[in-house]
Copies of this chain bind each other. A is one copy, B any other.
Amino acid sequence: MAFHFADRIKRAPASFLSELFAASNNPSIISFAGGLPSSALIDTEGIAQATRQVMEEDAHIALQYTTTDGYLPLREYIADRYRTRLGLPATAAEIQIVNGSQQCLDLFAKIFLNTGDHVGMERPGYLGAIEAFSLYEPIIDTVPLDDDGPDLAVFERFVKTRNAKFFYGIPNSQNPSGRTYSLEKRRAVADILRTSDTLFYEDDAFGELFFDAKPRMPVTKYLPDQSVISGSFSKIIAPGMRIGWIYAPEDILTPFNVVKQAADLHSNFFCQKILHRYLTTHDLDDHIRHITRVYGRKCRLMCDLLDDQLPQLSHTTPEGGMFLMAILPPGISSRRVFDEGVMQKVAVLPGMPFYVDGGGEETIRLNFSNPEDEMIKTGIERLANVIKGLIRQ
């Protein structure tokens, strides 16, 4: 029979991510297209140890239903880390556990967006956010993201004219661009928003991944009570557990909790317990220093290879995170680089899906966190061949 789906489905943008996973699962293709942290840097021994301890001491509780807000000691750990690491006055009551920070995007949109409401985001902007927000049928306005943060003139015009519910941004090592807001821009974004009712949704998936292992002050620091932060253990511990959180004023968490409960009752309790055990029996800062050293080396390797082999191409130079963005030489489209790349066994991510209002054909996103050094070397060689071949055509 024919199925009569809701309008939001008919309007949803077709997703690229499944195609990507397919390409990145083909072992003969070197993939820079995915968004995976390094599998080799997941501390499987430490997690196995924490898992054994939870199973020995607490299995009947860890495997049972629990409350929607999440495991209190884990929420206390997260709040404590905000206090000590960033000086934010966080309490466990302001932390709600979710299934990775992707679920924040869905639930936050669900509590704020009516059809036709305005929201803002960076251009280019995170694809997962575009997909989550679009299902609530808002009008998405974009603000160009420069090397040091949003274009402030456009941002101010957006804030003053759109009466938007929120602006969504990734100030630290943004996905897809790898760009980081300067301190000046962080303050300016807060100052401009303060004159409005528009919230700042600060996606901080990568804030712990600066190669110098030093924290940057979140925009929330300068805009308390008018912003939320989403965070995730996916990039610093393990994505397969699907544990992230939102740090938000309690008045926001009240309805957030209602929609979280309706969405799936609560997040995986077993993994919340394992994570908490792991975090309280291992040195997280030491683990993160190890990750950032490796990612910093991989990022420099990729940048150097690109500069050396493809001087016709420009690229961002990330201070952290897992991605950089490259601008292709004039006349070369990223779709052709993707198609030709797959033929030559190297996958890149065309930038178009990150441009919700069109454009981006000249951009590609490259992931440097997942492939090993040798893969980066061979993959960039292949990519250089692909692009040089297209230039010659």
Binding site for B on A (CB under 8 A): 1-9, 12, 15, 17-18, 21, 25, 34-37, 39-40, 42, 44, 47-48, 51-52, 55-56, 59-68, 98-100, 102-103, 105-106, 110-114, 117, 128, 131-132, 134-136, 165, 197, 199, 225-226, 234, 238-242, 249, 251-252, 255, 257-259, 261-271
Contacts and interface: CB of A to CB of B under 8 A. Distances in A.
Given A3-B251, A36-B65, A242 B261 contact: no
A194 B301 CA distance: 62
Nearest to A133: B262
A178 to B, nearest CB: 19
Query: Which label, helix, strand, loop or mixed, suits the secondary structure of the A interface?
Result: helix
Contact of A6 (B2, B55, B112): B112
Given A99-B264, A131-B262, A255 B5 contact: yes
A55 B51 contact: yes
Nearest to A115: B115
Contact of A240 (B4, B35, B269): B269
Given A8-B110, A52-B52, A242 B262 contact: no
B240 A66 contact: yes
A263 B108 CA distance: 11
B21 A63 contact: no
A315 to B, nearest CB: 24
Given A4-B197, A55-B48, A264-B106, A240 B62 contact: yes
B265 A128 contact: yes
Contacts of A103: 263-264
A387 to B, nearest CB: 28
A237 to B, nearest CB: 8
25 contacts: A1-B226, A5-B255, A6-B110, A6-B114, A9-B255, A9-B258, A12-B255, A17-B261, A18-B67, A25-B67, A34-B65, A39-B64, A42-B60, A44-B60, A48-B56, A62-B240, A100-B264, A106-B262, A128-B262, A132-B262, A135-B262, A240-B269, A241-B268, A242-B264, A270-B271
A55 B51 CA distance: 9
B240 A268 contact: yes
Contacts of A134: 262
A60 B46 CA distance: 12
B6 A65 contact: no
Contacts of A62: 240
Contact of A48 (B59, B252, B263): B59
A2 B197 CA distance: 8
Given A9-B111, A110-B6, A264-B99, A64 B42 contact: yes
Contacts of A61: 39
Contacts of A271: 268, 270-271
A65 B240 contact: yes
Given A113-B6, A266-B242, A269-B240, A261 B197 contact: no
A64 B238 contact: yes
A9 B47 CA distance: 38
Contacts of A64: 36-37, 39, 42, 238-240
B265 A268 contact: no
